[in-house]
Structure 1
Amino acid sequence: MKGPFPEIHGGGSLLLAWQVRNRRVLVIGGGEVAAGRIVNVLNADAKVTVVSPRDGLNDEVAYRVEQKQVDFIDRKFEPSDLDGVDMVLCAVDDPVASTQVYKLCQEKRIAANIADVPPECDFYFGSVHRDGPLQIMVSTNGNGPKLANIVRRQIASNLPTNIGAAITRVGLLRRKLRKIAPNIEEGPKRMQMSKVCEQWSLEDLTEMTEGDMEELLGFYKPGTVPSLESLRLGEDGGAYDGPFLI
């Protein structure tokens, strides 16, 4: 018999949007897997250090080093490399060395991912679809990375082509809203802005200009959400009754 609350299904991972901006990430290794890891964390604005003998770098990692997109240490990993590090991504073809890295990270309480060794990972890299600010990750919890790619492609193929642009515009509108109503007690006044995302089409959200945003934040008929067209024609102007929430 089902209880009154959600059932627990163990064996999953806690999927999070981990903010690593300006955090120090150590990548051990310089091959294809390391190259993919580097792209992931650079896209998240992390500060990346790569430690690997130079002759072990593939073309992509060598390019990142040459362009100074990462800091580079030309030698094999040493325990002192963990000093001041917030995350470790190990991608070397040496199980013994990889396990040593993981154990050291455990001792220092540094989150680590040891490529292709799920039991020695504090977190996994899923298959990610990205469109501007939109990120969708599919994880199989280490069971089937190739299958995760197939699922991710299927999801991406069913998304509107302009969803990323629409989210970008909504984000700008939210930032403008926070300037108008920065205080927590103004929260109730914001509630109706959620209806903009519900009632406007993605095309409208994408085409919304900053001028449209100012009009939307400044005037509306209480209890209604003006269409983009009527907003531009000035048909839905009215006494300002507080800002919306997006």
Structure 2
Amino acid sequence: MKGPYPEIHGGGSLILAWQVRNKRVLVIGGGDVAAGRIVNVLNADARVTVVSPRSGLNDEVAFRIAQKQVEYVDRKFEPSDLDGVDMVLAAVDDPEASTQIYKLCQEKKIPANIADVPPECDFYFGSVHRDGPLQIMVSTNGNGPKLANIVRRQIASTLPSNIGAAIQKVGVLRRKLRKVAPAQEEGPKRMQWMSKICEQWSLDDLCDLTDDDMDTLLGFYRPGTVPTLGAVRLGQPSGAYDGPFLI
């Protein structure tokens, strides 16, 4: 018998936007897979240490090291490398060593991803589309990474070319709004007003917003009205404008 609530479909993963800024991430290995992992965590502003013999480095990882984008330890992994680490990404061609690394991480309660060994992963890397602040991840829960990449490309091909820029402008407007109405009790009203802006303005309008436009637009927040961009540029923040509103 079906109830009034969503049905449970087990076997999935909890997909999160994991904030690792300034966290210590250990990458074990220096080949192609390690190179991809390094890009992922550097893009998230993590502090990355790579442990691998220099003979095992590919050109990209060697470049990251030479540019001092990561710290580097020129040797094989040692258990002491886990001290003070927040996350481990292992990408070595040695199943026995990989399993040992995972067991050590479990003992120390460090989340770990062992490349190509789904049972020894606390989390997976999906296929990610990135456009400025926009990130979309497709995961097959370890079943088909190549298929995830195909699905991700199909999704990306349907997105407007300016959506990343529009999202960036919305982020700026939200931060400005918080300064105008910082009180905690304003939270629901802030969310409702921003939702109206996002639903009723076009992406082109959002992309065209200047800082001056935003400052004028914020004048419409108190009365709770949503003007057109044309109304904003007439410079009447009091809400007294007689022209079109999007309400």
TM-score normalized by the length of structure 2: 0.94
Q: Which residue of 2 aligns with 1:173?
A: 173
Q: 2-side partners of 1:183 and 1:236: how far apart?
A: 21
Contact 1:32 1:58 in 2 (8 A): yes
Offset from partner CA, 1:50-105 (integer Å, 9 cap, x none):
00001110000000000000000000000000000000000000000000000000
Q: Does the 8 Å contact 1:89/1:115 carry over to 2?
A: yes
Aligned residues: 240
Question: Match for residue 244 of structure 2?
Answer: none
How many Å apart are 1:235 and its aligned residue? 6.0
Cα deviation, 1:196-227, whole Å, max 9, x if unaligned, reads: 11100000000100100000102369453101
Q: Which secondary structure does the structure 1 equivalent of 2:113 belong to?
A: strand
| 1:191-206 superposed matches below 5 A | 191-206=192-207
Aligned counterpart, 2:233: 232
Name the structure 2 match of 1:16. 16
Give distance in 1, aligned partners of 2:85 and 2:194.
41
1:117 and 2:117 aligned = yes
Structure 1 segments unaligned to the other structure (5+ residues): 240-246
What displacement does 1:192 show? 2.3
Check the 8 A contact 1:221/1:236 in 2, yes or no.
Answer: no
Relative distance call for 1:119 and 1:189 in structure 2 (3 A) is closer
- Tell me if structure 2 keeps the 8 A contact 1:27–1:38: yes
Give the distance between the partners of 1:135 and 1:2, measured in 2 at CA: 34
Paired residues of 2:105 and 2:112 also in contact (CA < 8 A): yes
Of 201-210 and 188-197, the range deviating more from structure 2: 188-197
Please state how far the C-alpha of 1:234 moved relative to its aligned partner: 3.5
Instruction: Answer yes or no: is 1:59 the counterpart of 2:20.
Output: no
Secondary structure at the counterpart of residue 50 of structure 1 = strand
Q: Distance in 2 between matches of 1:92 and 1:16?
A: 26
Partner Cα distance (2:59, 2:196) in 1: 49
Percent of aligned pairs with the same amino acid: 82
One-letter amino acid of the structure 2 residue matched with residue 68 of structure 1:
K
The separation in 2 between residues aligned to 1:4 and 1:50, in whole angstroms, is 50
State the shift of 1:185 in Å. 1.4
Structure 2 unmatched runs, 5+: 241-247
Q: Offset of 1:4 from its aligned partner?
A: 1.5
Task: Read off the aligned partner of 1:214 and give its amino acid letter.
Answer: D
**What root-mean-square deviation, in Å, do the aligned CA atoms of Structure 1 and Structure 2 show?**
1.6
TM-score (norm 1): 0.94
- Displacement of 1:138: 0.1
What is the Cα deviation at residue 164 of structure 1?
0.2
Alignment partner, residue 208 of structure 1: 209
* Aligned equivalent of 1:106: 106
Pair 193,201 (structure 1): closer, same or farther in 2 beyond 3 Å:
same
Higher RCO (Cα < 8 Å, 6 or more apart) = 1
Q: Could you say which residue in structure 2 is the equivalent of 1:244?
A: none
In the other structure, the counterpart of 1:136 is 136
Q: Distance in 1 between matches of 2:122 and 2:12?
A: 13
CA contact (8 A) 1:90 1:98 kept: yes
**One-letter amino acid of the structure 2 residue matched with residue 114 of structure 1:** I
Do 2:225 and 2:239's aligned partners in 1 also have CA atoms closer than 8 Å? no
Q: CA deviation at 1:230?
A: 1.8
Give the conservation status (yes or no) of the 8 Å contact 2:28–2:52: yes
What is the rounded CA distance, in whole Å, between the counterparts of 2:237 and 2:85 in structure 1? 54
Cα pair 1:220 1:226 within 8 Å, conserved: no
Q: Does 1:43 align with 2:78?
A: no
Matched to 1:71, the amino acid is E
